[in-house]
Amino acid sequence: MPNSISTHVVIQAGRLADGLGGAPKTDQAILVTADRITAVGPKEEIQKQTPPDAEIIDLGSACVTPGLIDGHTHLSLAGDGRNYAEMFADTDEMMVLTGAMNMQRHLAAGITTLREHGARNKIGFTLKEGLSRGYIPGPRMLVSGRPITCTGGHFHMCNEVADGEEEIRRSVRRLVHEGADYIKIMASGGGTEGTIPGLPSYTTAELHAAAHEAHQFHRTTAAHCRAKESMERAVQAGIDLMEHAEFLDPDDQLRFDPKIAEMMAESGIWISPTLQAWTRYPRIVELTAKRDTGTILPEEEVELTQLEEKAEMRLDVMRRTLDYCLQERIVPGTDSGVNNLAFGHLDYDLQLLVRVGFTPAEALVAATRISAEAIGLDDEIGTVEPGKIADLVAFAGDPTTDVKAFSRVVAVFQAGRRVA
């Protein structure tokens, strides 16, 4: 929906939270030339430098922030409650259509950049190509293509199975050749039938082979690490970003380990805790809304209590992890697509970060400036500053003081163009 043929756009807003972390500034304007931000400041000051042909967009009292970044998505999966076997029974063609739907949902929710964390065959690459040709709207996208996994391992149905260092190096080369922007590897079991989430699936040497080969091609690595032992190995192997970080033991219990948290802090590894995924948070939100409106059934009341108790166990592990000065390394990610995790809800992860001790303002910085740095795009996006691409979101209310405001998107801009 291009709404502008002018090369200059001025976006005015009651508040601006620029992603750098200070308190939001009031009565601000952003001058955009072509796709980049060229000036930011008080409305009257920007007015003086505004070219006469500029289009003016006044967002009233809304709060403008950098576009949000979701570090962890599975575009080919619908997040409609089906299990992996049922979702992967879909054809590749149906999965591409699912991806097109999901991209639009995320964009409308203010998520202007995402990482596609693993799909079958060529689906991830196809979606990125469709986006770059302008066939389908969607967030700016980095793709991993297919996740590397061991024989019978988590997501083996995506068809990038590799065992041993040699095969892993070959997989990295193949993925880079096909267009992977980064490498995703499954370092432990997961929700895929036949795998054990609490057990590691690769040796340290195998993970190191993946990281070493990826780095040769200037690609970063993200490792799926639910098992505690896989977390330790990922750090030792030089993996760049750790997904989930649950401290899960083989008996399926979460047991925080300060030694591993200390290793994580020392190594500087990025961490994407995917909190809404583990806590089944969309269901908690649904049931809480029913409770608040007095329409909850007795059995649902019981279910909500159980879900909340279980969620607390995960959130407690997260709080203890954050005690190790790891807040600046946290990259919010939704894991959208799997289980009941529908697209369009990074707001849920930001709510959960606030529950583990972030302020809403810190949650915003995590989902913008810090995430941009973690995925290697901090020269281009993540803050509202001159020189950056004009990916912006506007919210009703002030998300730096009220985390619920992240759910009230009023406008989305991509490279200076209003898209929602």
Q: Residue numbers of the site for Zn ion (CB under 5 A)?
A: 117, 335
Interstrand relation of 68-73 and 63-66 (parallel, antiparallel or unpaired)? unpaired
Contact indicator for 67, 372 with CB cutoff of 8 Å: no
Helix (H) or strand (E) holding 40: strand 36-42
Question: Given the complex with Zn ion, which of 335 and 362 has the nearer CB atom?
Answer: 335
Least distance (Å) between residue 406 CB and Zn ion? 21
Closest contact distance (angstroms) between CB of 72 and Zn ion is 6
Cβ atoms of 325 and 298 closer than 8 Å: no
From the CB of 120, what's the least distance to Zn ion, in Å?
Answer: 14
- Complex with Zn ion: residue 346 or 412, whichever CB lies closer: 346
Q: Quick one: 117 or 369, whose CB is closer to Zn ion?
A: 117
**Cβ-based neighbours of 58, under 8 Å, separated by 6 or more:** 12
Residue at shortest CB range from Zn ion:
335
CB of 379: closest distance to Zn ion in angstroms? 27
Q: Which lies closer to Zn ion via its Cβ, residue 208 or residue 244?
A: 244
Cβ distance to Zn ion smaller for residue 117 or 329: 117
Backbone angles phi, psi at 142, to 5 degrees: -110, 135
Task: Look up residue 162 and give its amino acid.
Answer: A
Pick between residue 117 and residue 208 the one whose CB is nearest to Zn ion.
117
CA–CA separation, 402 and 351 (whole Å): 10
* Distance (Å, whole) CA 105 – CA 141: 14
* Min CB(335)–Zn ion separation in Å: 4
Min dist. Cβ of residue 73 to Zn ion (A): 8
Residue 273, CA distances (Å) to 221, 229, 329, 371, 375 in order: 16, 16, 11, 13, 15
Whole-angstrom CA distances from 368 to 83, 116, 197, 275 are 31, 17, 30, 17
For residue 388, the SS3 value is coil
- Pair 30, 54: CB distance under 8 Å: no
Q: Which is nearer to Zn ion, 160 or 335 (CB)?
A: 335
Nearer to Zn ion, 272 or 400 (CB): 272
Write the single-letter amino acid at 379.
Answer: D
Are 298 and 271 spatial neighbours (Cβ–Cβ below 8 Å)?
Answer: no
- Residue 64 near residue 13 (C-beta atoms within 8 A): yes
How far apart, in whole angstroms, are the C-alpha atoms of residue 236 and residue 22?
A: 35
Minimum distance of Zn ion from residue 210's CB (angstroms): 17
* Nearest distance from C-beta of residue 393 to Zn ion, angstroms: 24
